[in-house]
Amino acid sequence: MASSLNSAASLRLFASSSSSSSSAAARLSLRSTSLSFSSSLKSLAFSTLSRHKRGSAVSVSSTGGFSSVASPKCAASDPDQLKSAREDIKELLKSKFCHPILVRLGWHDAGTYNKNIEEWPRRGGANGSLRFEVELKHAANAGLVNALNLLQHIKDKYSGVTYADLFQLASATAIEEAGGPKIPMKYGRVDVSGPNECPEEGRLPAAGPPSPADHLREVFYRMGLNDKEIVALSGAHTLGRSRPDRSGWGKPETKYTKDGPGAPGGQSWTVQWLKFNNSYFKDIKAKRDEDLLVLPTDAVLFEDPSFKVYAEKYAEDQETFFKDYAEAHAKLSNLGAKFNPPED
Give catalytic status of residue 138 as yes or no: no
> How far apart (Å, rounded) are the C-alpha atoms in residues 119 and 289?
46
Determine the 3-state secondary structure of 236 from DSSP: helix
CA 120-218-343 angle, to 5 degrees, is 30
* Amino acid letter for position 66: F
- Residue in 108, 79, 225, 106 with CA at minimum distance from that of residue 173: 106
In contact, 129 and 121? CB cutoff 8 Å? yes
Q: Is the peptide bond before 212 cis (omega within 30 degrees of 0)?
A: no
Determine the 3-state secondary structure of 108 from DSSP: helix
In contact, 286 and 316? CB cutoff 8 Å? no
Which among 108, 138, 215, 329 is annotated as catalytic? 108
Are β-strands 186-187 and 35-36 bridged in parallel, bridged antiparallel, or unpaired? Answer: antiparallel
Sign of CA dihedral 148, 149, 154, 157: positive
End-to-end CA distance of the chain: 44
Residue 127 Cα distances to 52, 157, 172, 334, angstroms:
20, 20, 16, 9
Name the residues annotated as catalytic. Answer: 108
